[in-house]
Structure 1
């Protein structure tokens, strides 16, 4: 199967995923927050995907190798499973919140949260453009070089920083406060993923130990 066909199938699977975790639990398609979220998600990912397919197909291929079975480290298979479960729970709880009216999120908060979703997801996508070795699974490939400039000059894991911003903004973007509990529950799994990844990079990627001395923070400047 060609890379283009894989990308199309991945996009179609994404639409099915959102139908399953948003509109089905919401019990309706009359859910403007959900539709706006899907539109923002689609636009923020389609443009970088097309760019990578044209300019850096190998990077796109790495990005599409995702999920527990794509991981080579057993601990990462457990961690990524927990992260995916927390993400699904976030969507489902937020949709149920809409259905049963547990939260009252002002429209302006929804719109600001949608903007943060776009910024977080867009930042995570931009990381792949800056570092073609940034994939969805944790590996060090032959010939891989250290990325230390651009977003990598701010924090050591800009892709995770963007993804974290997106996930924090997702519940209010979907009109829910209760969904934030699921995001909070994913924090230990994300921290475990980062710490284990850094252990591997320190052992296998030349220059990474020195890089950690120059760029002190992993995820949030001035915090961690």
Structure 2
């Protein structure tokens, strides 16, 4: 396994919430924190700006956050891409290209995410929910889609952290995950795509009240 890059480390700190939206990032502070020179930090910040996670302006480099229409747009793009990856995963399952262990892992992510949600461990639930959806994209074996989804997920996580609360529909979320799993394991591309799309759009609908105010 390759060592984690400075870019990966700074990205992880932002996504984990160590640096919040609007907070200023300095090359000096990050270079000390990560024990690297300022050059790789500068390069990392440039790349993170292209990812949409930081913004350069008069105040220097700050953590960015999507609001209003931009956040809705991100959810809609996520819905389209996750529909695609779910469909591709189901097609690969039909072709016998997915190892059984990989499907077991998908179920395990759903089980653990649901358990964490019901136990009130929100941070763990959010992390496992993302892992569940990312694993679907891994099963799809489409690198551009996976890369784009990772960037969109990062933006959504950072932009909605201040509104994080226990899911208002844990049973429904788990049921939607199970429908997606059933469609993929059952080699049903169209139902898989629709299950994925509707799941993300329902999440957007639940957040709509918050989005009106940002």
Q: Could you say whether these structures have the same fold, taking a TM-score greater than 0.5 normalized by the shorter chain as the test? A: no
Please report the TM-score for the alignment, with normalisation by the length of structure 2. Answer: 0.34
Higher strand share: 2
TM-score (norm 1): 0.33
